[in-house]
Structure 1
Amino acid sequence: MSPVDQAAVLLMSLGEQDAAEVLKHMGPKEVQRIGAAMATLTNVQQSDVQTVMQNFLEEARTLTGLGMGADSYIRNMLVTALGEDKAGSLVDRILLGGNTTGLDTLKWMDPRSVADIIRNEHPQIQAIVIAYLDADQAAEILGYFTEKVRIDIMMRVASLDMVQPSALQELNDILEKQFSGKTGSQTKAMGGYKVAAEIMNHLDGTVEAELMDSIKEVDEDMGNQIQDLMFVFENLKDVDDRGIQMLLREVSSEVLIVALKGADATLQDKIFKNMSKRAAELLRDDLEVKGPVRISEVESAQKEILTIARRMADAGEIVLGGGGEQLL
């Protein structure tokens, strides 16, 4: 069983209150993944449950705490796994527990709902929200705005540095009907070129290109600095060999073939050398046999691989860029 499946089995073996307490210490994406695993688990053998418990106890001996997370999207999956009553109570405890602020609670919402909430707010408030959220969620939210609004928001995100407490308080006041939170007295680092680049990385290829061109038309230096920080498909050539090998285990051959149709020879060679001789020969043959592929299909395949790469990097399994130390 995968680690996520084991976590799902463990939580489903706990009582409602204990499971809720554990989930309070997790982030939205973690709960989303675990909830999805809960929803798909069927006919779990008693021996599997015993193995999960044994593994957990072994891990617990060397750790000082536990952590997990969730997304409002997961409510339906939890209902499937646990039933309406238990799932509803569980999610409510997660959302209402701890020190959740208005901004943090937005991470539990689907992108369309967040877009609707901030649609009529001041552009600077919109930029603060976008900069605060995870890059992939922020990118989806931007998809619900017009190109003109996207340009304005992204340029404001790139220009952000420190946010005053009054600005965060204003944002929480706007959201007070749905959420509550406290703000501190210190400024908070937020936004900047790196955040803007991460959001751009998660945009659809066509939208990303159009937005970058528009930003450069207004401020070429800003556009260039954002572009320099973006991790694009060609940057995979800078990932170390071990990282490439781990990434290839997670990517289907069909997706890889299409993605490599749009890659240069250097990156293709990087991929080939991190495969077995037989696998590399088969991949070369498949690339030669593969007919013309639409640019949109190539971009989609490359985005899929980049999404996997970023997920693995977030989990500490690989290092993007090749210059950092490998995390285990």
Structure 2
Amino acid sequence: MIVNGTEKSALLLMSIGSDQASEVLKYLTPFEVQKLVNHMVNINHFSNIELNKVLAECYDLFMKNNDLVYNNNDEYISDMLIKSIGEKKGTILLSDALEIRNIKMSIKSLNSMEPSKLASLLEEQHAQIITTILVYLDPDQSARVLSFFKEEKRIEIVIKISEFNGLEEKKFVELKDIINDLINKKKSTFSNKGGIKTVANILSSMERENEKNLLKKIACSNKELSSKIIQELYSFENIINIDDNVMKCLIKNLEEEKLYIALQGSNEIIKNKFLNNMDEEKSKKLSLYLKEKSYVSNAAIENEQKLIVMMIRNILDYGTFSIENLGKYYV
């Protein structure tokens, strides 16, 4: 799915022919060209609807038997780059882009590896290498792999993930060699993912007791970081991504007054997430209450919002709301 202007531009360039595309690239900065090429080498099939949105005025040029037709191959990109910036620079630029693409593809394949085996293979690696790999694994896989490390090492890696801004150039070759050893492939991946949100995603996939213990240990060495992670774990904004069935279970077990307090000052998207999962009568009633002026304190709002997030995590873990186990989520 096309999500930003750069991807739309990449699709356009891959649809107009290398001669025309190379002319366009001549007017862009090296940085802009690099961004476009990185997207082009990773581009996949797009639906007719998506293509029509991006290339409305050129629709007939790129449709054949209701299928999308575009130049999705490395030769096309190479031809385009050589014509726009010369053979030497074009070859280097494409080589770098393909390198990154192949690295990303390789590291994703580690998601299918047995967590204990992957953890064993990573055990002796530098913490930064482990960090890079865990950042790009699925959160569930990262959590499982992380659980096999000793506590001290887990804390070190979690802190590094929160500070991760990409792999140092000198570590790039080392990472490629490691991925080769792990999955018998030539390439691996690195990028600029990471940060508090990534840590929160990984920790939320762990067993609750392991999560709490790890947070306590992190707090001992870095209280500020621990607070930021907890804040992300219990972010009320993340509710918009919760499955509607979970929301219905939550609403069924949640006191109306608590929900009313929690939704004070929330944006319409969050409010609608709740309202759309209620019966019509309750939805109308709550909507009217929310339109009235409120004198609820910010502290009360935050407390109820945190309770709701705890209840959601409880439902996700047990398949239903379990008040007996709610205490596990207090941090």
Shorter chain as denominator, the TM-score bin is 0.3 to 0.5
Q: TM-score, normalised by structure 2?
A: 0.45
Q: TM-score, normalised by structure 1?
A: 0.46
